[in-house]
Structure 1
Amino acid sequence: MFVILGVSISLFMLPTMQSTAAPLQVVTFEQAPAEYEEQGVIKGIAVDIVKEVFARMHQPILLNLYPFANSINRIKKRKVDAIFAVTKKPERELFLNYTSEVLLDQTATLYVRKNSQIKFDGDFRKLSDYTFGVVNKATYGYKFDNAVTTGIISKIEGVSAYRLNVLKLVKNRLDIIVGPRLGILYEIKKLGQQEAVKELSPSIESVPTYIAFSKTRVMPDIIEQFDLILKEIKKDGTYEKIIQSYIK
């Protein structure tokens, strides 16, 4: 998580007509490629999905990007209307109403060099001889973390960013890298290494994230409408097109 200054943009979703709805105040946090700031512009996969849904709702928003703890604190104190992309936790459901539809799955996945003979069937014991690249202090779900804790996986090298692990992998300094699927694919694309790295299947674990709305500031009909249109853009191909634009 990066500590950065708040950046805001006002999104008035109808270019040809003025919406009469008051803008919703929405917050997110740095987590590329889902949400990030670049040259003063808030962008990312989740950002584009959220903007598309609100555009189809004819609902303007004021979007701000803050550090994660700051974003959570703002919606908890009823200063803003919505936050994304967050996991469901019982303590958060005291002040948040989540959508039913998943906004974005965060999937922990393994990657190897394209010419590697390494295979994965879900059993980490078969990978115990290999060296793994991770990001320091990151977690990748119970299965992987448990394999590390119990010593099944013991050859681990940590770095500060996934980009560094992709570079180490293609230079034969690691056997396997582990990380969030979209984040790794995003870095592979930025480095131009699409033909040098491949994804192993199955994935380790998938954690769904959502947009969630303030229980005291947002009416249920807004949440229901967001759910319906999110399903719609998944069906009509817009959702997948947005994802692919960041990783292909």
Structure 2
Amino acid sequence: MTRNNQRMLAILVLLILLFVISCQALSANQELTGQAQEQPELLVLSHPFPPWQFFNEQTGQVDGINVDVVKYIFAKMNIPVRFVELPWTSAWNTIKKGQAEAIMSASRKTPRKRYLWYPEQDLWVSEYVFFVKKSKKWPLQGNYAEMQKLGVKIGIVNGYSYHKGFWAAFPYQSGEASYIPDNRDYHHQLYGVRTPELLFKMIAFDRMDVVINDKSVGLYLIDSLGLRESVGHYDHILFSKGYPMPFAKMSKYPELKKIAGRFEQLLAESKGDGSYQRLVDNWLQRHGLML
């Protein structure tokens, strides 16, 4: 064999080796892509905060602005997601046991940090006011001091942490003036129920004097329950509160902490590029609503 033929043979062997290596790399990449597509379903819990999140009885699915936002971000991460609606106390117990991966609209509280990775970004920000039956609305601002003086019966949702100013104004029977999880030994003016919907029904039927609730949630519920003509609210904002979507530390979902970090990054980007607000506006427009 001539030297030239040897050289050609060497080049041919090298090309074959390069082809084999390229095929192996492509196969590995396809395998990784397939693994990404086979990412396990991630369970997100919801508790009633319409229009931000709620169970839609017409569709049989969890619906709301937050659902659209969360779906949008997980789609960017190629992670399938499923939503389940539960009352707050049930949702919180499920998270503590690690039987779900995340929970929408769980406010930041020190006792909860044992079970949750809290992001800095909020899914939404609320403004709390007192709601009242229009026929019984006093000519007041609607602040804590006025409600204390009147001795009114105030409706709250069991398990909601509200705000430090609220608990200072209406401390527990023990005298504790800050939120205590799972403690139902409320101030004598407070009356706890399971859901916000029940609160507004109780106002309408004169079983409650006032209800403390987020304004956007309250307005949505009043409208959906057909109570627009009978239930109103005071304009005074008692407090504002950000609601994030923390992830469950007890969950066995693979690399959930990294997923939580990536979710927060994409949420921040969506707020920066305007896609978050477009999702909010599109949901409201589809339902003929305005906040």
Q: Give the TM-score normalised by structure 1.
A: 0.66
Indicate the SS of the match to 1:74. coil
Residues 200 and 63 from structure 1, CA distance in 2 versus in 1: closer, same or farther, beyond 3 angstroms? same
Instruction: State the Cα deviation string for residues 202-240 of structure 1 (Å, max 9, x = none).
Output: 222233221235784325445312321144447644324
Map 1:8-23 → 2, pairs under 5 A: 23=39
Whether the aligned pair in 2 keeps the contact of 1:101 and 1:230 (CA below 8 Å) is no
Q: Specify which of 131, 142, 149 is matched with residue 128 of structure 1.
A: 149
Residues of 2 paired with 1:72 and 1:247: CA distance? Answer: 35
2: distance between equivalents of 1:96 and 1:168?
33
Shift of 1:196: 2.9
Residue in structure 2 matched with residue 84 of structure 1 by the alignment: 104
Find 2:62's aligned residue among 33, 36, 42: 42
**Paired residues, number:** 224
CA deviation vs aligned residue, 1:64-94 (integer Å, no higher than 9, x gap): 426322134327xxx74x4433223456657
Give the counterpart letter for 1:46 in structure 2.
N
The one of 57, 70, 78 aligned to 1:59: 78
User: Aligned pair 1:69/2:85, yes or no?
Assistant: no
2:266 and 2:217 map into 1 onto residues whose CA distance is: 29
**Which amino acid is the alignment partner of residue 242 of structure 1?**
W
Q: How do 1:175-194 and structure 2 match up within 5 A?
A: 175-194=209-228
Give the greater-gyration-radius structure (CA).
Answer: 2
8 Å CA contact retained: 2:125, 2:242: yes
- Bigger CA drift: 153-162 or 114-123? 153-162
Matching residue's letter, 1:43: D
User: How far did 1:188 drift?
Assistant: 0.5
Alpha-carbon separation, structure 1, partners of 2:274 and 2:217: 22
Secondary structure, counterpart of 2:170 in structure 1 = helix
Asked if the contact 1:28/1:64 (under 8 Å) is kept, the reply is: yes
For the residues of structure 2 that align with 1:161 and 1:206, how far apart are their CA atoms?
20
What is the CA RMSD across the aligned residues, in angstroms? 4.0
The 1:89–1:190 alpha-carbon spacing in structure 2 relative to 1, beyond 3 Å, is same
Contact 1:132 1:178 in 2 (8 A): no
* 210, 224, 235: which one aligns with 1:201: 235
Paired with 2:191 and 2:248, the residues of 1 have a C-alpha distance of 40
Separation (CA, whole Å) in 2 of partners of 1:83 and 1:136: 17
Cα deviations by residue, 1:118-143 (Å, 9 ceiling, x for unpaired):
32264524662263340464554232
SS at match of 2:78: coil
Q: Is the 8 A contact 1:132 1:157 kept in 2?
A: yes
| Unmatched 5+ stretches in structure 2 | 1-35, 174-186, 250-254
Which aligned runs of 4 or more in structure 1 are off by greater than 6 angstroms? none
Consecutive unaligned residues in structure 1, runs of 5 or more: 1-19
Question: Which of the numbers 247, 262, 266 marks the counterpart of 1:225?
Answer: 266
